[in-house]
A and B are shown apart, each in its own frame.
Chain A
């Protein structure tokens, strides 16, 4: 998104190119805002609204979970029994740590500490990667091999409850949508990193870092709910 050239009139009040201050100091504001602060407020509000949409998206998944758990408690308890709490817990810890690093990234962007900004962005990215790898190697893959798959593909021979395929449908659906958000988050951190290298962020100009940070917190929080609901119900 950040690369569309706005052309003359979509463009904004930058000072001329021969100004060699860092980008975040040169930056004025898009032409339809009064100043940087004005723009900052607007972006922040936009980000919060976007987060609201994320919450509502996941709420659908949680409602489905609640209803089916009520309808078929045994299927859920049985299914949950097959999940490995320790890997789930490890992933919870990984995400919690990344919550810290992303908060630190925002802080360093605010103070203009470029080096630690970059380090924390990288760390958060790696945490996302670790989460995905753990999920893939120690959870998705074994479940896949054992046939603990959603609906039609369920082929695990020792199921104790006829509705277990439904549990796995909810499990794969919920964690899959969550994992796709982790992947998007990693993409965003890569983007932040590129921009941080170009010194785009600094005091008064850290919208993007903060926005991505908030997004990442939502991703964490969703997991904080998914973990006990899926792993800890027996």
Chain B
């Protein structure tokens, strides 16, 4: 573990001679590539993660589009069509593929696995978190830079196994790997093993990141920065990191036991040998419920920054927001049983149902605080602020429907229907991914040194918002009327809403592609970004250039004001004309 041993080459402490941007090339193209591949700079690692995650998001999204396409018709819609022919031949299954529902199951599973393990879990922490955590804390790097790089390579290594599994026709277990599907399907094939191995390996990458961040927050805050002077972004990432460290080992052992079960049939999850498949579900959710907070806490973390800067006001109830983060992290460990209402004992269900309501409280505290922050703020409607507002709306729907599901009697009806699908897409996509996209817009100038086109960003945001709701809101209707999840066919009564949903998914995709083009355009010929285009008050804006220099700051920053003191402090590094949009009054919010 002692990863901080120094290499042979070393400059004198403090004797760094040049202060170029971290993006500056290192001589020729190959040496630049080599420099990136071996970098221990948290900013570069964050950017590499961002690229990797967005690529995965693209593939996961393509799978989603295929799933929706399939559901256009009540029976096999695309037999022999797009999926059947092209992909069928790719997987060597020929035209038969289009006819079997099995293919649907595999695409649906792949979508889930990519989105959960390769996209959402690492998304915000590994990319934006990596980039920003040291900057916000006023540190030069994360605590263990090489562990950080290792985590990226482990992530790639894990993805490799997922790809191998895919190339051998993928798995049909669902992202939850429930036994006995995962122990019995595809017997004689390695693809399930590869997929489980992928998830196992990705766990290490997640632990590395989490461990690194916890230590960084504890040990590397700049002089003058106490716990309650940290930006709330850091609090959110910190809460998620704790969960990553404490929950991920449990999925590790679970997947290991699953592999044992598959290879040796040791019986742990097999009732014929005295085992218990429900034990798998307990193990799985003991990790996977906390991990939904690994997904959402960083999303919420972003929202703090966006709402603060976008309404030019102090975040209402800083401490309440900070403590609610810890409360969520803690409570998230004791509610896993709400995924097993239909499989565990009755007493356990009642207890878990009661506990589940607890977790909604700190989430609601945050939402109310953000709304209170907006109240009487001078709101600037940039793309990222629109995303923050979308988040409030969508996450609230997701969280509130979570309460329906947490009520025992209601859940017995809704369990394993499209209602669940809609619920978790509202929190995962409507929450985390929406916050993530908002965050990418907000920090884009800082990360790349370029501005993006505001109008295109806003149109993209509108498309995503409309497309998202069109895709997923109908699923609440279908679910409450009994449409089961994970089915390739359905009775014709659901067809209208399924088609509605599929059309929504196209709008959503259009919005996302618009963002992509907007970002590419910005890289190619975007306006150069000023150091602090939004007039924000956290250190990455006030003390670092856009993009930051290799060692982040010219001098170690000393913290003199809080991260949200918009009422009293004129943001440093802000020149008149920097603002792209209505400039907030000097000195803070308009109501003064």
* A interface list, Cβ under 8 A from B: 1-16, 27-28, 30-33, 38-39, 41-43, 45-47, 49-50, 52-54, 56-61, 63-64, 67-68, 71-72, 75, 149-153, 162-163, 165-166, 168-170, 172-173, 177, 200, 207-208, 211-212, 215
Contact = CB atoms under 8 A, between A and B. Distances in A.
Nearest to A177: B256
B140 interface: yes
Contact of B1 (A14, A15, A68, A215): A215
Contacts of B207: 53
Interface in B45-66: none
Contact of B9 (A5, A32, A41, A49): A5
A149 B265 CA distance: 10
A61 B16 CA distance: 50
B257 A11 contact: no
Interface residues of B, number: 67
A97 B385 CA distance: 62
B283 A4 contact: no
A42 B143 contact: yes
B252 interface: yes
B10 A13 contact: yes
A56 B251 CA distance: 10
Contacts of B246: 52-53, 56
Nearest to B2: A208
A153 B263 CA distance: 10
B580 interface: no
Contacts of B3: 1-2
A108 B372 CA distance: 59
B264 A6 contact: no
Contacts of B25: none
Interface in B119-147: 134, 139-147
A1 B279 contact: no
A173 B260 contact: yes
A200 B265 CA distance: 47
Contacts of B146: 1, 4, 6, 10
Interface in B189-214: 207, 211-212, 214
Interface string B530-551: 0000000000000000000011
Interface string B266-294: 11101001111001000100000000000
B2 A165 contact: no
Given A46-B215, A163-B273, A53 B248 contact: yes
A163 B274 contact: yes
A211 B2 contact: yes
B266 A166 contact: yes
Contacts of B550: 9
B253 interface: yes
Contacts of A67: 276, 279
Q: Which 9 A-B pairs have the closest CB atoms?
A: A13-B13, A169-B266, A60-B253, A152-B265, A208-B2, A163-B274, A32-B140, A151-B266, A10-B40
A6 B253 contact: no
B253 A43 contact: no
A52 B245 contact: yes
28 contacts: A4-B7, A6-B9, A10-B146, A11-B9, A13-B13, A13-B14, A31-B141, A39-B4, A42-B4, A42-B143, A46-B147, A47-B1, A53-B207, A53-B248, A56-B247, A59-B253, A64-B257, A67-B276, A68-B276, A72-B274, A151-B266, A152-B264, A152-B266, A162-B274, A163-B273, A166-B266, A169-B273, A211-B2
A8 B266 contact: no
B264 A150 contact: yes
Contacts of B139: 32
Nearest to B254: A60
A54 B6 contact: no
Interface in B1-50: 1-14, 16, 35, 38-41
